[in-house]
């Protein structure tokens, strides 16, 4: 029998499983879907506390995650790089945001913030995490679990994202639907964010060979089908902000449901269950800090 069963194989489950292994535990992961089929695989994914409230715990997890990804980018971990970013600031935002202490080169000019953050191509990165986990002797079983009692282990980590609503009876969880368009990269190297663009939220995240264009934040919408009109609108407004995107070939379109939670992420022990879910639009941003907290709670 494993010391710990981690339920969930998204970014929170896999990083938690690795942190637990590093702390000396024998770990098994059980998940309804392969890592590549999770919400985590849809994420753009850049370090930024999207749709998450200011909170010292969140800042701590984000700071630690920033450090781990920076170190991984430095040694060439699959899919991890550092991405310069321009963030267009429209009315209302003054000075430095609450998360700036986590970002070493943050600078604010009138109308624009600039900073460099980790960016992760989630498909290769999740595969890399799974390889590391298996290399340490871990096992992944694909199975949907309806009750924690089905899991025979002294400690169970609940990293099920939105799946925690029925499992943990948490009615504070809700989806924030996100749709993105992936296009060929016409030579872009800097991320652009314009969250309050008059036509809708804009983000443009270049990766090694493509660019993720977004996005949408549809609160309470759990529809995972791709909407053609939404995609057209995303292409129109991102191209307005970055004209070099004009005519870029569409490679892919994706939809994911961010696991948002009233009160912020739940990372706490409840008997033998350690909950680690509700990371909203910031699961990649908070994953390694969360995983280390899970390992501490397990000890
Ligand atoms: C369009 C989009 C863009 C995003 N961009 C970013 C970004 O740039 N930066 C960032 O930090 N975040 C981003 N996010 C948010 C990020 O994707 C999420 O916060 C993160 O994926 C949550 O990870 P998770 O491991 O908690 O959940 P998930 O990835 O959903 O994984 C949950 C796991 O639990 C399993 N599970 C659920 N229920 C059960 C059950 N009953 N039995 C067994 N297994 C179960 C699932 O199969 C899955 O393996 C984005 C999200 C979207 C949709």
Q: What CATH number matches the domain at 4-298, 3.40.50.1110, 3.40.50.620, 3.30.559.10, 3.40.50.720?
A: 3.40.50.720
The pLDDT of residue 92? 65
The pLDDT of residue 207? 96
| String of DSSP letters for 188-228 | --SEEEETT-TTS-EEEEE-SSEEEEE---EET----S--H
Q: What is the pLDDT of residues 154-182, one digit of tens each?
A: 999 999 999 999 999 999 999 999 999 99
Bind-site residues for FAD: 145, 160
How far does Cα 9 stand from its chain's mean position?
13
The ranges assigned to domains in the chain are 4-298
Cα(69) to centroid(ligand 1), Å: 18
Whether ligand 1 lies within 6 angstroms of the CB of 138 is answered as no
Phi, psi of 50 (to 5 degrees): -70, 130
The pLDDT of residue 91? 73
Nearest CA to ligand 1 atom 33: 8
Whether ligand 1 lies within 6 angstroms of the CB of 157 is answered as no
The pLDDT of residue 94? 66
The pLDDT of residue 194? 96
Cα(240) to centroid(ligand 1), Å: 30
The series of mean pLDDT values per 10 residues for the chain, 299 residues long, is 97 98 98 98 96 96 98 98 96 82 95 96 98 98 98 97 98 98 98 96 96 97 98 98 98 98 98 98 98 97
Whether ligand 1 lies within 6 angstroms of the CB of 41 is answered as no
Report helix angle 11-22 to 283-298, nearest 10.
Answer: 40
Distance, CA of 28 to CA of 139 (rounded, Å): 5
Cα(55) to centroid(ligand 1), Å: 21
Bind-site residues: 145, 160, 203, 258, 281
- List Cα–Cα distances, 41 to 4, 22, 129, 149, 197, in angstroms: 24, 24, 12, 28, 26
Q: What is the pLDDT of residues 183-236, one digit of tens each?
A: 999 999 999 999 999 999 999 999 999 999 999 999 999 999 999 999 999 999
């Amino acid at each position: 029998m494993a010391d710990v069963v981690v339920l969930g194989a998204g970014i929170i489950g896999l990083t938690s499983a690795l942190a637990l292994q590093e702390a000396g535990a024998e770990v098994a992961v059980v998940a309804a879907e392969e890592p590549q089929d999770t919400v985590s695989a849809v994420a753009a994914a850049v370090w930024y506390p999207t749709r998450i409230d200011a909170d010292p715990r969140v800042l701590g997890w984000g700071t630690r995650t920033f450090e781990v990804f920076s170190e991984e980018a430095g040694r060439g971990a699959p899919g991890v790089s550092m991405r310069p970013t321009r963030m267009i600031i429209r009315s209302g935002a003054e000075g430095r945001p609450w998360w700036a202490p986590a970002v070493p080169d943050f600078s604010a000019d009138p109308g624009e913030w600039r900073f460099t953050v980790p960016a992760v191509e989630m498909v290769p990165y999740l595969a890399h995490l799974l390889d590391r986990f298996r290399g340490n002797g871990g096992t992944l079983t694909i199975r949907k679990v309806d009750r924690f009692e089905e899991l025979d282990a002294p400690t169970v980590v609940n990293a099920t994202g939105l799946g925690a609503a029925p499992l943990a009876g948490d009615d504070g969880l809700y989806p924030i639907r996100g749709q993105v368009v992936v296009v060929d990269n016409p030579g872009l190297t800097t991320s652009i964010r314009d969250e309050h663009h008059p036509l809708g939220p804009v983000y443009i995240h270049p990766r090694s060979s493509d660019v993720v264009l977004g996005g949408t934040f549809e609160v309470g919408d759990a529809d995972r089908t791709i909407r053609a009109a939404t995609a057209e609108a995303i292409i129109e407004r991102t191209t307005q902000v970055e004209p070099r995107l004009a005519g870029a070939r569409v490679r892919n379109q994706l939809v994911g449901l961010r696991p948002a939670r009233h009160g912020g992420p739940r990372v706490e022990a409840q008997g033998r269950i350690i909950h680690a879910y509700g990371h909203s639009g910031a699961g990649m941003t908070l994953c390694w800090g969360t995983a280390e907290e899970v390992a501490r709670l397990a000890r």
